[in-house]
Amino acid sequence: MTATLATQTARPAPAPDTPVLALRNVQRSFGPIQVLHDVTIELFPGEVHALIGENGAGKSTTMKIMSGYLAASGGTVELDGAPVSFAESREAEARGVTLIHQEFNLAQLLSVEQNIFLGHELRRGWRLDHAAMRARTRDLLDRLETPLDPRAQVSAISVPEKQMVEIAKALSRKARVLIMDEPTAALTTRETEVLFRQIERLKEEGTAILYTSHKLDEVARIADRVTVMRDGRLVRTAARGEMTVDQMAEAMVGRELSDMFPPKRPADGSEAVLEVEGVTIGTVVQDVSFTLRRGEILGFAGLVGSGRTELMEGLIGVRPSTGTVRINGSPAHIHSVEAAMAAGLVYLPEDRKEHGLILTQDMRRNLTLLALKKFSNILIDKRAEAAALERAIREFDIRAPQSDVLIGNLSGGNQQKLLLAKIMLAEPQIVIIDEPTRGIDVGTKQQFYGFIHTLAEAGHSVIVISSEMTEVIGLCDRVIVMRRGRIAGEVTGADVNEDDIVRLAMGLEQKGNGNG
pLDDT, the chain, mean: 85
Specify the pLDDT at position 255.
63
Beta strands in 186-314 (DSSP E): 208-212, 225-230, 233-239, 272-281, 285-293, 297-301
Q: What does the pLDDT read at residue 268? A: 54
Q: What is the pTM of this model?
A: 0.62
Sequence-separated contacts (24+) of 126-130 with Cβ below 8 Å: 129/3
Beta strand pairing call for 322-327 and 97-100: unpaired
Q: What is the pLDDT of residue 269?
A: 61
**Homologous superfamily assigned to 259-344+428-509:** P-loop containing nucleotide triphosphate hydrolases (3.40.50.300)
Q: Is the distance from CB of 50 to CB of 219 less than 8 angstroms?
A: yes
Question: Tens digit of pLDDT for each residue in 74-85?
Answer: 999 999 999 999
Of residues 468 and 319, more confidently modeled: 319
Terminal Cα-to-Cα distance of the chain (whole angstroms): 53
Q: How confident is the model at residue 156 (pLDDT cuts 50, 70, 90)?
A: confident
| pLDDT band of 157, cuts 50, 70, 90 | confident
- 214/310: higher pLDDT: 310
Domain 21-96+175-253 has CATH 2.60.40.10: no
User: What is the distance between the alpha carbons of residues 182 and 214, in angstroms, rounded to a whole number?
Assistant: 7
Is the Cβ–Cβ distance between 382 and 372 less than 8 Å? no
Report the alpha-carbon distance of residue 193 to residue 423 in Å, rounded.
Answer: 35
Q: What is the distance between the alpha carbons of residues 192 and 213, in angstroms, rounded to a whole number?
A: 12
Say yes or no: do domains 21-96+175-253 and 259-344+428-509 share a fold.
yes
Question: Where are the domains positioned within the chain?
Answer: 21-96+175-253, 259-344+428-509, 361-427
Question: Residue 192: enclosing H or E segment and its boundaries?
Answer: helix 189-204
Q: Are the CB atoms for 482 and 302 separated by under 8 Å?
A: yes
Helix ranges (H only) for 316-381 are 337-342, 363-368
Residue 416's contacts (CB-CB under 8 Å, 6 or more residues apart) are 352, 436, 437, 440, 444, 448
CA-CA distance, 191 to 146, in Å (whole number)? 8
Alpha-helical (H) ranges within 234-381 are 245-253, 308-315, 337-342, 363-368
- The confidence score (pLDDT) of residue 8 equals 39
The pLDDT of residue 208: 93
Question: What is the mean predicted confidence (pLDDT) over 178-207?
Answer: 85
Share of the chain above pLDDT 90, in %: 36
**CA distance linking residue 72 with residue 164, whole number of Å:** 30
DSSP 8-state code for residue 262: P
**pLDDT given for residue 3 in this prediction:** 36
Window from 139-143, 308-312, 454-458 with minimum mean pLDDT? 139-143
Contacts of 330 by beta carbon, 8 Å cutoff, 6+ apart: none
pLDDT at residue 90 in the model: 87
**Mean predicted confidence (pLDDT) in 442-465:** 90
User: In the structure, what pLDDT confidence band is assigned to residue 400 with cuts at 50, 70 and 90?
Assistant: confident
* pLDDT, mean of residues 297-323: 90
Cα(39)–Cα(25) distance, rounded to whole angstroms? 5
pLDDT value of residue 258: 59
Contact 120, 164 (CB under 8 A): no
